[in-house]
Amino acid sequence: MKKAVLKGIGDIEIVDGPEPILKDGEALVEVAACGLCHSDVDSYLGKSLDLIPVPRVCGHEFGGTIKKLNGKTKLKVGDSVVVSPIISCGNCYYCKMGRDQLCISAGKGVQIPNIGQARDGAFAEMIAVPICNLIKIPDDFDMELTGIIEPVAVAYADTKGIKDSNVVIIGAGGIGLIALKLLKQNNNRVIAVDISSKSLERAKKAGADYNVNIEDKKRVEKIEDFLKGGFVDYVLNYHLSNDTMDFAIAVIKKYGEIKNMSTSDEKIETDINATIIKEIKMVGHMAYTMEEFKEAVDIIVGKKINVKDVISAKFPLEKTKEAFDYKIKENVAKVIIVN
Ligand SMILES: [Zn+2]
Ligand SMILES: [Zn+2]
């Protein structure tokens, strides 16, 4: 079977080899689709190569068909499944409090105990995964969408509980767009902020009520004018930088909430004084619990939002390197690898 192996910075090689051997409790999944995450791109660009060991097969946003089972389960060979990529121990302090993504088994330096980071991922024809990470989906499900369910789970966890509010989203990339669609379902007014006019155009099509370019010197005033005396209740920041933090702190209402969902290479020198004076709630957020992942699957299976249009391009596994180069060059929302 073929797999796309990341060997170093900008270096992906298609390697042919034997199928993975299943350990107890694992299933062999034939991958149908796997999305390219910005974290995969960071690894490809060498930004997180000190965090993940190479050679490594990346890819954690995927689903496919069960080919073999090595453990007790109600699932059957031939079932269509989507895979929650977080492999947690279930026993540590964090797992017991329901924060699977913070499990101590991730290992030092690895952000999340993820398939595709802590172990080989799904830019491959086949992958071995724990049976308990599989979620069955209907046989007639559009399997290309399995490549985007994981980002839906991220966006779902980021936006859960936000309703009837004014929300600024910074960064209208793949997850930002999905978050926007989910927020619109819950009667929120959404203002999209990005540096790229192409991304803002996409956000408008996806239902944004208002758009502002982050480079606009009057960005805060424009949003205040748009809200006509209303306040920004939440800022969801998908592009952490000193500038976006300054903007977030300036635009958020007193006692509002800023959620930061991306990490940054630059050292962030936030104006802590302003966060105290305005009593701003600052929250860091990463990934989702297994429950939230299942709820996100239900949203997509139940067609509650359309995410097909978030997929900008598809590449075959053999062209995984080209897919990375395309995503980096074209600044598109979502690229998926399809088998
Ligand atoms: Zn991801
Ligand atoms: Zn754990």
* CA 3–ligand 2 middle distance (angstroms): 29
Distance 254 CA to ligand 2 centre (A): 36
Residue 179 in domain: yes
Q: For residue 74, report the distance from its CA to the centre of ligand 1, in Å.
A: 28
Residues 144 and 160 reside in one and the same domain: no
Q: Report pLDDT for 261.
A: 93
CA dihedral 147, 148, 150, 151 (to 10 degrees): 140
Q: Which residue has the tokens 């660009």?
A: 45
CA distance 21 to 28: 8
Does residue 106 sit in the same domain as residue 181?
A: no
Please state, in angstroms and rounded to a whole number, the distance separating the CA atoms of residues 212 and 43. Answer: 30
pLDDT of residue 59: 97
| Judgement on whether residues 89 and 167 belong to the same structural domain of the protein | no
CATH value at residue 275 = 3.40.50.720
* Structural domain containing residue 243: 155-284
Tell me the per-residue pLDDT of 277-299, one tens digit each, with 9 for 90 and over.
999 999 999 889 999 999 999 99
Instruction: Return the pLDDT at 93.
Output: 93
**3-class SS of residue 66:** strand
Structure tokens at 175: 């997850």
Residue 207 within a domain: yes
| Domain termination site, one of 239, 269, 284 | 284
Distance in Å, CA 293 to ligand 1 centroid: 13
Q: What would the 3-class secondary structure string for 147-174 be? A: HCHHHHHHHHHHHCCCCCCEEEEECCCH
Provide the pLDDT for residue 283: 96
**Residue among 33, 27, 124, 121 at smallest CA distance from 77:** 27
| pTM of full prediction above 0.85 | yes
> Same structural domain for residues 139 and 122?
yes
Q: How far is the CA of 110 from the centre of ligand 2 (A)?
A: 14
Asked if residue 53 has a cis previous peptide bond (ω within 30° of 0), the answer is no
Considering the domain architecture, whether residues 159 and 45 belong to the same structural domain is answered as: no
Q: Which ligand is nearest to the CA of 35?
A: 1
Give pLDDT < 70 ranges for the chain.
48-51, 106-112
Q: How far is the CA of 38 from the centre of ligand 1 (A)?
A: 7
Distance 221 CA to ligand 1 centre (A): 34
Q: Could you list the beta-strand ranges (E) of 171-292.
A: 189-194, 210-213, 232-237, 252-260, 281-284
Same domain, 159 and 139: no
Question: How confident is the model at residue 251, as a pLDDT?
Answer: 98
Q: Which of 235, 201, 190 is nearest to 331 (CA)?
A: 201
CB of 247 closer than 8 Å to CB of 221: no
**Å from CA of 164 to ligand 2 middle:** 35
* CA 37 to centroid of ligand 1, rounded, Å: 4
Partners of 194 in beta bridges: 213
Residues 15 and 55 in one domain: yes
pLDDT at 105: 78
Total domain count, the chain:
2
- Shared domain check, 165 and 93: no
Q: Are 280 and 259 in contact (CB under 8 A)?
A: no
- Cα 40 to ligand 1 centroid, rounded to whole Å: 8
Q: Are residues 212 and 280 in the same domain?
A: yes
Query: What is the model's pLDDT at position 183?
Result: 98
Structure tokens, 241: 């930088």
102 Cα to the center of ligand 2, angstroms: 7
Q: Is residue 67 part of a domain?
A: yes
Residue 111 lies in a domain: yes
Based on the fold, state whether residues 11 and 35 are members of the same structural domain: yes
296 part of a folded domain: no
Give the Cα separation of 185 and 188 in Å (integer). Answer: 8
CA 317 to chain centre: 20
Question: Which pair of structure tokens corresponds to residue 181?
Answer: 């669609």
| Ligand index nearest the alpha carbon of residue 122 | 1
299 found inside a domain? no
Is 140 a member of any domain? yes
DSSP letters spanning 278-289: TT-EEEE--S--
Is-contact 274 280, C-beta < 8 A? yes
Spacing, Cα 261 to ligand 2 middle (Å): 21
Q: Please enumerate in sequence order all residues whose Cβ is within 8 A of that of 23, keeping only pairs 6 or more positions apart, or say none.
A: 70, 128
Residues 14 and 83 occupy one common structural domain? yes
If asked whether residues 144 and 173 sit together in one domain, one would say no
Residue 297 belongs to some domain of the structure: no
Tell me what pLDDT residue 109 has.
55
Position 314 scores a pLDDT of 97
